[in-house]
Structure 1
Amino acid sequence: MQNKQMKHMVNGAFILSLAAFIAKVLSAVYRVPFQNLVGNTGFYVYQQIYPLYGIGMTFALSGLPVFISKLIAEQTDLGWQREILRRSALLLALLSALVFIGLQIGASWIAQAMGDLQLVPLIDAVAWMFLFMPWLALSRGFFQGQFSMIPTALSQVAEQIVRVAVILIAAVWAVRAHWTVYKMGAWAMSGAVFGAVAASSVLAYFWWRRPRVQVAVTQVSVPRYRDLLRRFLAEGGSLCLFASLIVLLQLLDSFSVKNNLVVAGLGQAAAKSLKGVYDRGQPLVQLGLVLATALATSLLPSLTRALQRKRRNEFYRQAVMMIHLSFAFSVAAAGGLIALMPGVNRLLFGNTEGDLALAIYMLSIILMALISSYSSVFQSLGEYRLPTLALVVGLVVKLLFNGWAVRRWQINGASAITILALAVMFGLIWWRSRSYLRQALVRHFFLLKLVACAGTMTVLVRLLFMLLSTWLQPGRLATGGVVFVCILLGGGWFLFWARQLRLLTVREWLALPLGKKFLRRFK
């Protein structure tokens, strides 16, 4: 019975990982045609308010549902589960109402703090999405606590498809009807509400069809509201913060980058346009993280299984494997994007503005992948204090130094401070982690081998790109062909030398998709 439940849980985790992969790809890819339609200033308008949506989405999708599913799975008593859901619903309803009212009342203040009062309609539009948060979080958490992942997966994909469709339709219509970028942005932000309605409808369908179980009226012992609130803030808050790390950094950028560009001497229009150029980095980082985080999160069920069976050695081995895979492929992704940045920037966004700032920003792929892997291990062990403290310290570093760096080096400074903040976060987590986690990056010369593989790949790809670009002098579309050829050759080079230098163990290669076939070919 236990093996059957474990198999069901692993299959469910795979379904959730696949849905998250599809949603992340959609969330990253749509920004390219969107930016091409609305330009740098239109992209700036959208990206200024996007972090507010991003925070709400991660709370309703990955942070709170995971915590609620944990509460549900901790007890088998159905009366206890029902009472936990009821009390959690009340707490989340109060939280979402406070956030909604705060955004509606404080929209003008927030827009003024961002240096652009015309952003008020966008804040008003995105605020309505928070009213759906209690239902989305509770229903997803309930189904996940019952090891039923399909409702969450389908609702996640439906939400992204509807939201992306609304955003792109608004952009196309705005161009044809000659709307202002702010009117376009308000309609694009309304996509968050339409997406929430779609996700809520999917979850309501599964909720209506769930098996009804009669629960006898008994005296059920449940946590007091005060204790439940404490757990929501400590455990749920930590999960939510790490799930929304990238958008929290973007939120700080929304308040400081454009304002300090104006202080540095740029006009309003030029500052908005340059902030739009800086915002190109976010979808690129998301794409770079998709593979690294997908490989890492696919191993999370193995960590859970090892803990449940009290097999500490297996847990250590799986944790190190997750760190190795995440680190190796995030370094490869970051190195490739940095080497190909002029081509990638021109292919996706039409010009090479902000190449240096975007190249610096790509280093965040490596640090975010490491932070995600290490914090997942801590959270699997039920340890939340250290990762949360590290995250808060990193955000404080970003808050304190971002304005100064922007005034001195413009968007290059904003990218550099993002890397500094992430480095501080990871440094604190790594320093206070267990010895086997600290040694995971240097054991068996892993770091030296990775530097050799990824470093030579980056140099090779850069030289090849420069050679082909000089020889062919390609246009925008032809640049895509050059980038594609460089990706194929660079990826092949990295994998070949990773195998030759034994960067990964046989067990780690086998954990990769098509890893078995790869080992046979290079045996």
Structure 2
Amino acid sequence: MGKRQVNTTLQGALVLSIAAFIAKLLSAVYRVPFQNMVGNTGFYVYQQVYPLYGIGMTFALSGLPVFISKMIAEAHDLPSQQQVARQVYRWLWGLALVIFIGLMLGAPILARGMGDRQLTPLIQVVAWMFLFMPALSVSRGYYQGRFQMLPTARSQVIEQLVRVIVILVAAGWATQHDWSVYRMGAWALSSGAIAAVAALLVIPRWRQRGTTTATRVPHVGRRLLVEGGTLCLLTAMLVLLQLVDSFTVKNGLVAGGMGDVAAKSLKGVYDRAQPLVQLGLVVAVAFATSLLPALTAAQQEQRPEAFKRLTTTMMRIALMVAAAATAGLVALMPWVNRLLFGDAQGSGMLSVYMLSIILATLIQTYNSVLQSQDQYRLTVVALTTGLLVKIGLNHWAVRSFGATGASWLTVVSLGTIFLVIWYGSDVTLRSGVWTSAYIRILLACTILMVFGVRLMAGLLTYWWPALLTSRLAIGGGLLVVIPLGGLLFLGMALKWQLLSVREWLAIPHGESVLRLWQQLSQHGGK
């Protein structure tokens, strides 16, 4: 690959990364006002069926386009690239029809498995978005494969923006007109198909009229199943765990003796964890994967030492940011819960769930490293193992320990996935990544930040009793405590040299942080 093409690839990766960040941020943030409008039971109705949509979204948004772009890039000329796109499009249409028919006919069975037959029409509404999956996936993959990233980036952002608008408008209208939560859920979930149409309207058509002399590409179906399916599974990791929860949490609560209405409400409280985890992941993964273009370039240019150094830097930054975000959310969970969702119900089980931010961040970061080496099998084995743990034990855990049991099983499943990846990967990718000194310093910084944040929160509450009840007051309190907690963690990390100078410089604006710290240290030494 020539230098110019490498630069084009890296610039394109940056554009897609920014678009993905915006899309994920929108996907996380909208759930807060949505839950506030529809309540716990309305949120339960939406979240029960959402994982089915989420799987389709990962197909069309990131999983399949990455695979298709790889196949397009392998083709030598424009007619061959269009031939690849046509063949993949036909295969995906077959897959989409099978999924659509399966969901339409199997909706009553799935709803019964989720313990709520009234979810049947909602599942059927979600089925329609799969019919748009082939066009979206192939269009995005085609332009990415030709190193034209703007069409994909634009369609991703528009799709998420339209979806969020439709969901919030549906929730607002349902609240004003006293709709049932199931009717509201059906309209909210229709946002998937509506957003897909909007995305298709802003992405150019890739098909060229007329005949082509390009030869047929062999093994497209097999590669679509193996490589494309693998990428989709990895991208949909958290959504698949949520799907297991859809079938086991509400049913497990009822089996444990809880009433049906109360179980639905508590499942809605449990689902508050999703936007919080997504926000934590967006921040942590954005910091870590800012190095991904450089990592890909090092792999393509066959510079093993640079690749190893960048891998170590990514993993250290990922763990540091994820640990800080997790500790902050756990320490402030009652405040965060009340501010965002109106009460502090379920703060304990939500705090447990926040531990998954660390593990999910490490899995996604490490998977990015393996993908840059075209290694997929290990992560599929790991994901399958983790899912089997969740599927096998989740119902028992909920029946025995309530919704907190499901939170712990999510953490255990993600821990299983990470351990399989970690111990199954090449020793060169493991050695020296996290030294004992790094772990000790990170634990010290995290524990100190948690104590500092709790102390500040306690003092503020003593001086300002409104923090116990007023959401507005809590918002003001968080604006004070969060920056101070972040500065405390950052100061300790710099003082105790958690990262090397080179690693700090790899973080966006890291040079400015180091320069400021040096100035403060010089003034402090006088």
Give the TM-score range, shorter chain.
over 0.9
Residue identity matched to 1:321 = T
Tell me which residue corresponds to 1:276.
268
Q: 2:392 corresponds to which letter in structure 1?
A: L
1:207 is aligned to: 205
CA–CA separation in structure 2 for the residues paired with 1:338 and 1:199: 37
Q: Distance in 2 between matches of 1:416 and 1:471?
A: 35
Partner of residue 95, structure 2 = 95
* Cα pair 1:397 1:421 within 8 Å, conserved: yes
Q: Please, which runs of 5 or more residues in structure 1 have no aligned partner? A: none
C-alpha deviations, 1:250-285, integer Å up to 9, x for none? Answer: 000000000111111111110000000000000000
2:285 maps to what in 1? 293
Per-residue deviation, residues 78-129 of structure 1 (Å, max 9, x unmatched): 3332222121111111111100000000010000000101111111111100
Is the aligned partner of 1:465 residue 2:463?
no
Question: Is 1:520 matched up with 2:518?
Answer: no
User: What residue identity is the alignment partner of 2:205?
Assistant: W
Whichever residue aligns with residue 475 of structure 2, its letter is G
Q: Which runs of 4+ in 1 moved over 4 A?
A: 212-216
Whether 2:375 is the aligned partner of 1:383: answer yes
CA RMSD of aligned residues (A): 1.6
2:156 aligned residue:
156
Q: 1:457–1:485: structure 2 CA closer, same or farther, 3 Å change rule?
A: same
Matches within 5 A, 1:55-454: 55-203=55-203, 206-207=204-205, 217=213, 220=215, 222-223=217-218, 227-443=219-435, 445-454=437-446
Give CA deviations for 1:390-449 in whole Å, capped at 9, x if unaligned: 100000000011011101111110000000101111011111122233234423722222
State the SS of the aligned residue for 1:522: helix
- The percentage of counterpart residues that share the same residue type is 55
Q: Distance in 1 between matches of 2:280 and 2:173?
A: 31
**Aligned residues of 1:234 and 1:384 also touching (Cα < 8 A):** no
**C-alpha separation between the residues in 1 aligned to 2:395 and 2:505?**
46
Mapped pair 1:490 → 2:491: no
Amino acid at match of 2:389: V
Residue 324 of structure 1 deviates from its aligned partner by 1.3
Per-residue deviation at 1:147? 1.0
Q: Distance in 2 between matches of 1:444 and 1:213?
A: 61
Matches of 1:156 and 1:213, distance apart in 2: 26
Gaps of 5+ in 2: 519-526
Alpha-carbon spacing, 1:215–1:513, altered in 2? closer, same or farther (3 Å):
farther
1:342–1:355: 8 Å Cα contact kept in structure 2? Answer: yes
| Residues 213 and 134 (structure 1), Cα distance of their counterparts in 2 relative to 1, 3 Å cut | closer
Q: Does the 8 A contact of 1:323 with 1:440 survive in 2?
A: no
**Letter of the aligned partner of 1:345 in structure 2?**
N
3-state DSSP class of the match of 1:95?
helix
**Structure 1 range deviating more: 475-484 or 182-191:** 475-484
Contact 2:126 2:189 survives alignment (8 Å): yes
Q: How many residues align?
A: 515
Q: Could you tell me which amino acid in structure 2 is paired with residue 300 of structure 1?
A: L
In structure 1, the partner of 2:523 is: none
1:3-22 aligned at under 5 Å gives the runs 3-22=3-22
Kept in 1: contact 2:83–2:216 (CA 8 A): no
Matched to 1:169, the amino acid is V
Q: Distance in 2 between matches of 1:92 and 1:61?
A: 14
* Distance in 2 between residues matched to 1:440 and 1:340, nearest whole Å: 33
8 Å CA contact 1:387–1:429 kept in 2: the answer is yes
- With normalisation by structure 2, the TM-score equals 0.95
Alpha-carbon displacement from aligned partner over 1:444-483 (angstroms, at most 9, x marks no partner): 7222221111221122112221232233122111111112
Q: d(CA) in 2 for partners of 1:308 and 1:79?
A: 26
Partner in structure 1 of residue 524 of structure 2? none
Q: Which range moved further: 477-486 or 108-117? A: 477-486
SS at match of 2:431: helix
